[in-house]
Amino acid sequence: MELARSWRQACLLSSLAGVLASALGLVASYYLGLRPGGTIVLMAIALLLVAFASRRLARGA
């Protein structure tokens, strides 16, 4: 799955996704009383699913 057009853009997008998954996971774990490690992993999986869905919708399938 290609979301980036260059190596630099791929590195920036992956860094942004990691920071976003970590921040969302920590906030969700705080408010929901969950363990942070698993919550961060679930947020990363959710971001991956969103990326798959957006790519599929962009292609018009």
Per-residue pLDDT tens for 6-23?
999 999 999 999 999 999
Residue 61: in which H helix or E strand, if any?
A: none
Is the predicted pLDDT of residue 2 greater than 80, yes or no?
Answer: no
Residue type, 13: L
Q: Write the Ramachandran bin of 34: left for phi over 0, alpha for psi from -120 to 50, otherwise beta.
A: beta
Q: Residue 46: helix, strand or coil by DSSP?
A: helix
pTM of the model: 0.82
Give Cα 23 distance to the centre of its chain: 11
The span from the CA of 40 to the CA of 27, in Å, is 9
Indicate if the pLDDT at residue 60 is higher than 80.
no
The vertex-58 CA angle with 54 and 59, nearest 5°, equals: 120
**40-54 pLDDT per residue, tens:** 999 999 999 998 898
Has residue 28 got a pLDDT over 90?
yes
